[in-house]
Amino acid sequence: MPQDNSSEEPKAPQKRDLPGHIAAALAGAGGPTDSAGQPWAGRSLSGDDARIHNFEDDDGTADVRYVAALNGLVAGSGDERAVVASLATARVFVPVVASLTEETDGVAGLHADKQADMALVTLNAPDGRKAMPVFTSVQALEAWHAEARPIAVYAARAALSAVSEDAQLLVVDPGSELAFVVRRPAVWALAQQRDWTPSYLDDELESALSSLAAGFPAVRSLETQVGGGVASRTASGNVVQGGGAGPELRVVLYLEDGLDAAAVQALVAGLNEAWSGNELFVDRVDSLEVKLRRAAG
């Protein structure tokens, strides 16, 4: 039996096909588009296409509800669920950059014209997953990338675009004092315009995991906790209890005594397989870490 402080490496659910309701919403949205439903791809950087957004009377500043929710998170009086909830109705800016394309005129020997089309920007997260950056203000975007053009969309449409680009994360205001990471389940919730509950606060999920664990007699009990990857740091070094990109769910397994290392490894592998086949788990868990404890008595 391992020591009480033993743990397994963080696990992430394997990539799966999108649930039908998300795929349908994405198909209805027509892929990555601006707030007017027009595709970003193939647009020039001149004339009417050079407008920064289609929201009238928008001064380009951050949504006040998002700012309040983020300040509450930093102060310790709020949580990341409130930050994601504030994004549900917020306008954000998606950065697009110019990419040169050649337009041939079909006449041999003549130099082809070059046009600048607009392309979405994506990032690579530390764990290798694709992330889409979004910004709450024009100022934040310009500070991050001076040549990027801000296209205003509602966060729900940005989430749909992230799904279409196979990006599992939204990063809000990268390069700012606090870059907030919206993980995959919350991205999907935004895309569907439904409320999001963090997996570590989800009683229904905990019940489902416990029910699946009941098929393994060596597991005496199970509880879910906040994962070690929920916390983040501001640029000035302060720890914030939310907005991190790491494992957001910790599953604590209380095991019977007398198990050797091989038995524990087989048990955890079996549990991971059972959980990964559960639709609720796949839909609501971005990544998790497993902690092993000796059951009392």
Whether residue 115 has pLDDT greater than 80: no
What pLDDT is recorded for position 18?
A: 43
The whole-model pTM stands at 0.78
pLDDT band for position 297 (cuts 50, 70, 90): low
Cβ atoms of 86 and 112 closer than 8 Å = no
Beta bridge partners of 219: 255
Alpha helices in 218-293 (DSSP H): 261-276, 279-284
Those residues whose C-beta lies under 8 Å from the C-beta of residue 44, and which sit 6 or more positions away, are 115, 116, 117, 118
Whether residue 107 has pLDDT greater than 50: no
Whether residue 5 has pLDDT greater than 80: no
Higher pLDDT, 296 or 281: 281
**Mean pLDDT computed over 258-263:** 93
Higher pLDDT, 105 or 224: 224
Distance CA 42, CA 137 (A): 24
User: In this predicted model, what pLDDT tens digit does every residue of 56-65 receive, in sequence order?
Assistant: 778 899 999 9
CATH match of 199-294 with 3.40.50.800:
no
Q: Which residues of 201-215 are buried (b: 16+ CB within 10 A; e: fewer)?
A: ebeebbebbeebbee
Whether residue 277 has pLDDT greater than 50: yes
Closest CA to 226 of 251, 208, 243, 206: 251
Closest CA to 162 of 175, 149, 172: 172
User: In this predicted model, what pLDDT tens digit does every residue of 163-195 receive, in sequence order?
Assistant: 888 899 999 999 999 999 999 999 999 999 999
**Mean pLDDT computed over 138-145:** 93
If you average pLDDT over every residue of the chain, what do you get? 81
Q: Where are the CATH 3.30.70.1350 domain residues in the chain?
A: 199-294
User: In this predicted model, what pLDDT tens digit does every residue of 23-55 receive, in sequence order?
Assistant: 443 343 334 444 445 454 444 434 444 444 557
Whether residue 69 has pLDDT greater than 70: yes
pLDDT band for position 268 (cuts 50, 70, 90): very high
Whether residue 138 has pLDDT greater than 90: yes
